[in-house]
Amino acid sequence: MKHSLISSVVLLALGSAPVFAQEQSLEPVVDAANKINAAAKSSQLTVEKIADSTQERIQQYKQITRQIQGLEVYTEQLQKQLDAQLVEKDELNSSIDEVSVVERQITPLMLRMIESLAKFVELDVPFLPEERAERVANLRDLMDRADVDVSEKFRRVMEAFQIEADYGRNIEAYNGEMSVNGQSQDVEFLRMGRTVLLYKTRDGAHMGVWNQQQREWQELDSSYASNVQEAIRVARKQLAPDLLMLPVFTQTNGAGE
């Protein structure tokens, strides 16, 4: 009986030995498989990260490409503007050179114009002598000033010429003083263009008319008193214009009406 029990234990031990041995031989395989799976999982995560990073970089590349294209268009437009500005710069430089030449030429011209104006005022019918002489003197002073542009000087010269031209087309009455019979008296002057210049004393006792041919004042007959007074009122816009009889000197040095 004892022998039979021992035999059973030995048989049981012999029967389980191959299974244990098999399990021991499979453990390395299982460990290797687990390691492979873990490595594969890690690799998959790495691949996914790389894919995400690549996609992100692709999007960045597309965005940068669009920005580059926009900058290229902008740069091209700026280059066109720059080219246009360079052309304008060359034109301005050329204009500046021309202006410098014109300035050197126009200054002597203005000086000659002022001297001609002064001579004209001197030889013209002697109305508003102080005002006109002062205008010429101011122009001469203006030409010596460095703080005034050439364009402004030229404008002032032309303005003076325009004023003188307007004198020949209008009628004017103004107060002043002149020597009558050796005495200074207040008088009323009447100017009709450059054709007639006469005066009348305040009391109307004396009247005179300028003879441009002889360049002197001549006594005016009292018969003209009413016409002279009416003409003065017309010039002062106190009466409507009307036909007036006034003395006019002709080239034969005679006075006509």
Domain ranges of the chain: 171-257
What pLDDT score does 171 carry? Answer: 92
Taking residues 206-213, report their average pLDDT: 92
Cα gap 202→208, rounded to integer Å:
13
Asked whether the predicted pLDDT for residue 119 surpasses 70, the reply is: yes
SS3 state at 124: coil
* pLDDT classification of 14: cutoffs 50, 70, 90: very low
- Long-range (24+ apart) CB contacts under 8 A made by 114-118 are 114/139, 114/140, 114/143, 114/157, 117/157, 117/160, 117/161, 117/164
Taking residues 205-229, report their average pLDDT: 91
What pLDDT score does 255 carry? Answer: 53
Taking residues 191-218, report their average pLDDT: 92
Mean pLDDT (the chain) is: 83
* pLDDT classification of 5: cutoffs 50, 70, 90: very low
Asked whether the predicted pLDDT for residue 251 surpasses 90, the reply is: no
What pLDDT score does 117 carry? Answer: 96
Report how far Cα 144 is from the mean position of its chain's Cα atoms.
27
* pLDDT classification of 196: cutoffs 50, 70, 90: very high
Cα gap 169→177, rounded to integer Å:
24
Share of the chain above pLDDT 70, in %: 85
**How many Å is the Cα radius of gyration of the chain?**
58
- Using DSSP, how many helices (H) and how many strands (E) does the chain show? 4, 7
* pLDDT classification of 252: cutoffs 50, 70, 90: very low
Residues 40-65 have pLDDT tens digits of 788 788 888 888 888 888 888 888 88
Tell me the pTM.
Answer: 0.60
Q: Given the structure tokens 């009986």, which residue do they identify? A: 1
* pLDDT classification of 3: cutoffs 50, 70, 90: very low
